[in-house]
A and B are shown apart, each in its own frame.
Chain A
Amino acid sequence: MNSLDFDVAHLLAGGLVLISFIMLYQDRLYALLNTFALHALILAVSVAWQAFIQHAPHLFITAMIALFFKAILIPVALHRIIQRLGVHREIETVVGIGPTMLFGMGLVALSIAVMLPITAEANPLARQDLAFALAVLLLGLLLMVTRRNAVSQVVGFMSLENGLVLAATGARGMPLVVEISVAFSILIAFVVIGIFLFRIRERFDTVDVQALDRHRGER
């Protein structure tokens, strides 16, 4: 394999992990959305690069979906939802930023320690992509569990999905069916979330998940 091909793919996948970290310490919703847009943009470039080096033109479709849908349409829509609903602009975190970052580093180390030995025989590109993808996936999970606000949980979920798309494109020749359906299910998922946020706004005055948690416990 051409070393430039490999280096660029490596750089982009590493960039995704880095931006996942940047998302971890955002404490304002708009900033989080902008960072997510950057995340999706890097994903789009990374997928397009994979399409180019694997000579797999169908992957360009996935790249386009990532660019137009996730990097532009959704951040804009979420901006508007936040404005319309008058959601608090600050994000309430469950755990402090410092411990979260440390934990995130642990997760990245874990995913590399798990994936690299196991995939020793796979092709090197798929190998590093899978390790980075697992890291992005785990960081997305971390973002979801450390945030109380519904919008930022959704952003965490989408960054998790970005990790999955990275893994799916890194696995050479993975059938198109799956990629399109991944993108498509994100779309459906988003419609769901849109309806949800709308309904929540209809009934209460907050999109803070903690307000949803009032009915915990004994029933």
Chain B
Amino acid sequence: MNGFSFYATALILLIPLFGAAVLVALPGYWLTARLNVVFALLTFGAALLVLLGERPPPEPFLLVDDLNIIFVVINSFVGLTTSVFSASYISHELEIGRLTPAYLRFYHAMYQALMFSMNLALLANNIGLMWVAIELATLTTVLMVGIYRTHEALEAAWKYFILGSVGIALALFGTILFYVAASAVIGEGLEAMRWTTLIQHVSKFDPALLNLAFVFLMLGYGTKVGLAPLHAWLPDAHAEGPTPISAVLSGLLLNVALYAVLRFKLLLAANPETIAPGPLMVTMGLISLIFAALMLYRRRDIKRMFAYSSIEHMGIITFAFGMGGPLANFAGLLHMVMHSLTKSAIFFAVGHIAQVKGTQKIGDIRGLTETHPSLGWGLTVGVVAIGGLPPLGIFMSEFLIVSSTFAREPLLALFLVAGLLLSFGALFLRLHGLAFGPPTGSTVPLNSSYLPMTAHLSLVAIAGVYLPPPLVAWFQHVAGLLG
């Protein structure tokens, strides 16, 4: 049984890698777009096998435990639905000539390469390997953000590349410091970078070195999470790249970077003499939340607006994990899953809206519910969900975060609630213009699949009313692990 689940784990990595190799060699739209979906489906299947099977024992380089399997499943699920959305999105881009067939081949190969590197980062049992995987994910997304080669796209890609590489460089320095601290106790070599070994011995490491390492890691990976002082790349990269990539960036890549931070937080928490990583995360999370909430009011570009909303929600999640404790961790996990589903659904809707209206300017898009009812109502439900209104899933996780904060730190809860209300106001102000009122622009019906968007929103709606007990038990177990 163990051997079987190990092969399933390997498949999660091998399928996208193989997919990238195949897709880079194949020409044409029809076949590659469908193959892209097939590979994503197979990866999701492998992830489910690992989830349902027994946990394989930790390998030298790969590890499956209760924490990362949540991320892997969400990652491959959103990867699958985004590939379905991407197929219809890309066909439109080809029609209007924004993408040429040569770039298309490259796009699909990069999509699978991104899936591979994110899954590798999640499954890595070695802090060096995890770093390499996140670096690879950064590079592939830089290439995809710049794929339209317009002035704005190049600027966005360049900014993303420079800031992302500086972040990743700081994270590597933190990783090296961690190794120096570990090798003094464990001895030199691979063992001192293996996560499962580190967690056993971390209480004996030099606390001062660990503190410094964590500061670098938090700043480095925090850049990739999009936390406030380091977020400058995020809105541009979301707004100028192809919309499927915005969905994957917001829904998945930010989570992967956050996962790296969480892993190191666990290590620090196991050493009683180090600084508590919590307050640092709480501060950065809260600053991101309030900053993004204020910035939401000034947006004129629809994708840029939802990019700021992603900063806001990553701030909330970081805040929740920084607070710690079983309840806040549970809420943080739930919020992360709900945010991934909702935000990617919103980007699916926004992608089609921008295509059918031919613009991303909020002012030029009005009355969507009249001209395109499914898109308009889909967007409305998505924004209602992301704004945190009951009875949808995000309401529940935000409610849990707010109530657990009120019980422990009432003052922080005030800031938290203020940030939530501010962003809620901004989103509804814009939604009103977008979805209702006299319609403007093209009214041509859109011929594409709404399945990915509907699937995500239904899951979020169901989660708001009913969470299956096994899921709750599992999340509670993981929340306990996170300390």
Contacts and interface: CB of A to CB of B under 8 A. Distances in A.
A64 interface: no
Given A175-B190, A199-B149, A141 B166 contact: yes
A130 B146 CA distance: 35
B151 A134 contact: no
Interface string A134-149: 1001000100100000
Contacts of A200: 154
Interface stretch (B206-214, B333-341, B418-426, B431-439): B206-214
B132 A181 contact: yes
Contacts of A177: 126, 128-129, 132, 190
B173 A173 contact: no
Contacts of A160: 166, 169
Interface in B300-326: 300-301, 304
Given A130-B177, A171-B179, A199-B149, A185 B158 contact: no
Given A119-B209, A189-B139, A212 B184 contact: no
Interface stretch (A23-31, A69-77, A100-108, A161-169): A161-169
A167 to B, nearest CB: 5
B271 interface: no
Interface in B172-193: 172-173, 175-177, 179-180, 183-184, 187-190, 192-193
B173 A121 contact: no
Task: With a 10 A CB-CB cut-off, give which of B136, B165, B175 has the most chain A CB atoms.
Answer: B165
A122 B184 contact: yes
B33 to A, nearest CB: 24
Nearest to B193: A175
A31 B191 CA distance: 43
A91 interface: no
B151 A218 contact: no
B298 interface: yes
A133 B299 CA distance: 41
A219 B189 contact: no
B155 A126 contact: no
Nearest to B194: A175
B162 A199 contact: no
Contact of A174 (B135, B162, B179, B304): B179
Contact of A130 (B132, B142, B149, B180): B180
Interface in A109-141: 114-115, 117-119, 121-122, 126, 130, 133-134, 137, 141
B184 A121 contact: yes
A185 B162 contact: no
A215 B149 contact: no
Contact of B212 (A118, A185, A189): A118
Interface residues of A, number: 50
A144 B151 contact: no
B151 A203 contact: yes
Given A189-B139, A212-B155, A219-B239, A171 B180 contact: yes
Contacts of A18: none
B273 interface: no
A192 interface: yes
B155 A157 contact: no
Contact of A118 (B143, B172, B209, B239): B209
A92 B176 CA distance: 34
Contacts of A212: 151, 154-155, 158
Contacts of B187: 173
A160 B161 CA distance: 14
A85 B148 CA distance: 22
23 contacts: A117-B208, A118-B211, A118-B212, A119-B180, A119-B209, A130-B177, A137-B173, A144-B162, A160-B169, A164-B169, A172-B188, A173-B189, A174-B176, A175-B189, A177-B129, A177-B190, A178-B175, A182-B172, A195-B143, A196-B157, A199-B149, A203-B154, A218-B298
Interface of A: 114-115, 117-119, 121-122, 126, 130, 133-134, 137, 141, 144, 150, 153, 157, 160-161, 164, 167-168, 171-175, 177-178, 181-182, 185, 188-189, 192-193, 195-196, 199-200, 202-204, 209, 212-215, 218-219
**Nearest 8 interchain pairs by C-beta:** A173-B188, A178-B128, A212-B155, A181-B132, A118-B208, A219-B301, A167-B176, A175-B190
Given A164-B173, A181-B135, A193-B161, 15 more contacts: A118-B209, A118-B212, A141-B166, A144-B162, A153-B162, A160-B169, A178-B131, A178-B132, A181-B128, A182-B172, A185-B135, A185-B136, A199-B149, A212-B151, A219-B239
Interface of B: 126, 128-129, 131-132, 135-136, 139, 142-143, 146, 149, 151-152, 154-155, 157-158, 161-162, 165-166, 169, 172-173, 175-177, 179-180, 183-184, 187-190, 192-193, 206, 208-209, 211-212, 239, 298-301, 304
